[in-house]
Amino acid sequence: DANQGYTVSDAVRTLKAFEELGVEAVEQCLPSWDLDGMRFVRSKVDLQVMLDESVHTPIDAAKACKIDAADIINIKLMKCGGLYPAEKINAIAEANHVQCMVGCMLETKVAIAAGVSLVAAKQNITEADCDSFMYAVDPEMGMPGGFAVNGGVYTLSDKPGLGLDIDF
């Protein structure tokens, strides 16, 4: 994740070097607004180019897909506004043969349960980075259930909704 840190020329040069090291994908190497630059970088490298900060809305996803600016879109529920817009972003990406992943920021187990559920429900979402709840002193956050994690594999609860046991 370059976190928007490169210029177009730096990105091409750096990503070419990454390819020699066996790196398979890079996330958001250019500023979020530079979709044309992302398209150019993507045309010059063989590794996969992922957009994150460039895609907040379904319209952003459509713009990126229309000009072939990405191989992968990172969907974050807190960034896009929840499950419904996330599903729209995925549908747009899928229609344009762009894979998706679900990522997270520092959010609660409720949001992580929703994100993991989206991953499980959508064939086009092939990757997930949903571990922010693990940074909490109490990873359960007072909300047992939802999912279990074993060796990096998430298993969803079979309880209704997000499967969390919330007792206020």
DSSP string, 119-139: HHH-TTEEEE---GGGGSSST
pLDDT reported for residue 149: 87
CA-based diameter of the chain, in Å?
Answer: 54
For residue 118, tell me if it sits in a domain.
Answer: yes
Residue bearing tokens 């990757």: 127
Find out whether 139 and 133 touch, Cβ atoms under 8 Å: yes
Please report whether residue 47 resides in a domain.
yes
Residue 69 lies in a domain: yes
User: So what's the pLDDT on residue 139?
Assistant: 77
**Predicted model pTM:** 0.91
pLDDT score for 168: 66
Helical axes 83-95 vs 109-121, angle rounded to 10°: 30
Is residue 65 classed exposed, middle or buried when 0-12, 13-18 and 19+ CB atoms within 10 A define those classes? buried
Within a domain: residue 164? no
Averages of pLDDT over runs of 10 residues in the chain (168 residues) are 94 97 96 98 97 98 98 97 97 98 90 94 94 80 86 90 83
Residue 163 covered by a domain: no
Residue 168, in any domain of the structure: no
Parent domain of 129: 8-156
pLDDT of residue 136: 79
User: The domain that contains 83 carries what CATH number?
Assistant: 3.20.20.120
Listed residue (45, 56, 49) closest to 30, CA to CA = 49
Assigned domain for 167 exists = no
H helix intervals, the chain: 8-20, 35-44, 58-66, 77-80, 83-95, 109-121
What is d(CA 111, CA 103) in angstroms, rounded to the nearest whole number?
11
The pLDDT assigned to 165 comes to: 87
Domain count, the chain: 1
Given this model, what pLDDT does residue 39 score?
Answer: 98
Cα 96–54–124 angle (5° rounding)? 35
Composition of the chain by helix, strand, coil, percent to 5: 40, 20, 40
